[in-house]
A and B are shown apart, each in its own frame.
Chain A
């Protein structure tokens, strides 16, 4: 099978230590960046939605907004692929605890916010986006599988696509199950052709699953603390400007990615 080539036009990133992609770059260059406020700003949402939105939506919208702003593209024109391994863990915890105790008291708002596509739903509403949108999951391979889906949309329909992958932290008892001890989100705007804002090319090929390479400190700890942080090897390549990485796209499938900066 031939290699799949896409262009990266924008990158978004948020974790408790890193406010954005620039913070990852400076961290890898050896400085300690100023951490962001505890709650992602998610400035794309209207103020009333921002106040009410669950953390999972704020996180996804924050990184999506960063990547789209960097790309210089109109958000409404981008097809959307939003990935998350666990969805909104605080809402899952609320729902299951309430159903065990007093099911008739379940909140209707929390219920409609519990769907896996809540974040992409709020994003399309906030940006007036009528393009196709989807929400996907693949356990610890959610970023790689979401990337493969986004790339297949870019190339099959020759259109730019916004990829978001994010997971919030869990609390006990769910934390024992998900292992997500801190939030992490990232986003890429991917395009079929080079544009004036293109940062890099990605050449992807599907492989059998191989062991991933070593990550520089302090990335390994962040990588293990959140399923969506499986994106870090690729984000680190993008920060450095070139190289090859391997991501999981499924339990038995890998993605090999060769990345080059666009001069």
Chain B
């Protein structure tokens, strides 16, 4: 049983996805039940599927001083950092604590592998990378974090977490441990993943991609829609920001079952949930909303719906928001964390977009359409390949303990 966690303040957060740039666009899409999915127009030979693409990433070059980090994934990271005044908040924290006292902990599944793919498409006649592609830092899993460290001028602990689709949920746990141990005073967490051939053709090869917009928890669901996103949050001790929403707890666990199929009984997912509730000091009945992993794959949704039914009372509302964004893979954890935080801030339960004929396995907890109600406590589930599970617990500032 983990010890009760001292809550941390989330003093800034932002997200950019197919729903739009920044929190206002995201909230508007959620309130209007407007999906960001579109027919796939990515890559030279687009697969017949739908994607959650961010507009105009190609038209947003990096500042000249950061040009050595140029690639599509870092452009999306830069676009994301520039929303909601996030950079200013980090600069203020840096001035307050010092650049070495802020950790940078970001999740990504494929980082800028799209740049490596491009390098292989246009190798020199001698078989080597073209000169403009001879930038080792962008052909490595740490590309995103190296870029963001340079862009934000941070000099503290700096780590890439890459556990597939749970990556940018787990970063909240890394941050809490470092702050608790006094290694740092604050942490920038988040994650970025962009559309690339590796994931489009890879998930296609696994027969997990739907030809239509994804339908999480629908009886006729037939696979995921892949998306891209960037999201970030700034975590500090709660006493410096008593009015900020809080990270109450987190849970992490492993399925020990299969590389690309979830445990049939949701064992790791439930262990992560119980771990998060225990750290947060919560009973399941105190949870107002769960943002589900809900990818629209046959197996994930079946296992996760059963977990919701056995773990939560009907008053707990549950939905997947993958129908808005697509599955943004390593960025899904942070994007859905920001949706959980907006649910708290705006008392909005986002409806489970795309589930027009609910799978009968889904219990009465599911919110198929938007609901307006008080949200004090919200959870977010994120599960990844390798049986890697994470669950986050957030709460409104000043929630009576």
Contacts and interface: CB of A to CB of B under 8 A. Distances in A.
Interface of A: 1-2, 4, 76, 80, 84-87, 92, 95-97, 99-100, 103-104, 106-108, 111-118, 120-122, 124-125, 127-139, 141-142, 145-146, 148-149, 152-153, 155-157, 172-174, 176-179, 206, 208, 249-253
Given A130-B271, A156-B181, A173 B129 contact: yes
B111 to A, nearest CB: 8
Nearest to B122: A100
Given A121-B388, A133-B388, A173 B254 contact: no
A45 to B, nearest CB: 13
Q: How large is the interface on B (under 10, 10 to 19, 20 to 34, 35 or more residues)?
A: 35 or more
Given A115-B164, A129-B254, A176-B129, A2 B206 contact: no
B206 A111 contact: yes
A176 B206 contact: no
B198 A95 contact: yes
A106 B205 contact: yes
Nearest to A1: B182
A117 B205 contact: no
6 contacts: A100-B121, A111-B206, A121-B386, A133-B386, A137-B159, A251-B146
Interface stretch (B26-34, B227-235, B256-264): B256-264
Given A99-B120, A103-B45, A128 B164 contact: no
A179 B86 CA distance: 36
Interface in B238-273: 252-260, 267-268, 271
B145 A117 contact: no
Closest 9 CB pairs of A and B: A121-B386, A111-B202, A116-B162, A132-B252, A96-B120, A250-B158, A156-B177, A137-B141, A108-B205
A127 B201 contact: no
B139 A124 contact: no
B322 interface: no
Given A86-B141, A139-B146, A177 B177 contact: no
B141 A250 contact: no
Interface string B268-280: 1001000000000
B124 to A, nearest CB: 9
Given A99-B117, A111-B203, 15 more contacts: A87-B141, A95-B117, A99-B121, A99-B198, A130-B253, A130-B267, A131-B253, A134-B161, A137-B142, A148-B157, A152-B178, A152-B183, A156-B177, A173-B120, A173-B129
Interface string B113-135: 10011011101000111000010
B120 to A, nearest CB: 4
Interface in B158-190: 158-164, 170, 173-174, 176-178, 180-183
Interface in B189-242: 197-198, 201-207
Contact of A136 (B120, B162, B178, B203): B162
Contacts of B206: 108, 111-112
B140 interface: yes
A260 B78 CA distance: 45
A4 B149 CA distance: 25
Contacts, number: 228
B60 interface: no
B157 A249 contact: yes
Contacts of B313: none
Contacts of A84: 141
A137 B140 contact: yes
Contacts of B360: none
Contacts of A116: 109, 141, 162-164
Contacts of B117: 95-96, 99-100
B260 A112 contact: yes
A125 B258 contact: yes
B156 interface: yes
B345 interface: no
B157 A124 contact: no
Nearest to A86: B140
A85 B143 CA distance: 11
B373 to A, nearest CB: 33
A74 to B, nearest CB: 13
A177 B136 CA distance: 5
A114 B163 contact: no
A108 B253 contact: no
A176 B128 contact: yes
B314 interface: no
Contact of A112 (B3, B128, B141, B385): B385
B323 interface: no
B7 interface: no
A126 to B, nearest CB: 8
Contacts of B161: 134-136
A30 to B, nearest CB: 36
A85 B140 contact: yes
Contact of A134 (B2, B163, B268): B163
B85 to A, nearest CB: 25
Contacts of B252: 132-134
B174 A124 contact: no
A124 B256 contact: yes
A230 B391 CA distance: 33
B256 A130 contact: yes
B289 to A, nearest CB: 24
Contacts of B255: 124-125, 130
Nearest to B170: A134
Contact of B123 (A129, A173, A253): A173
A130 B268 contact: yes
Nearest to B258: A125
B181 A138 contact: no
B80 interface: no
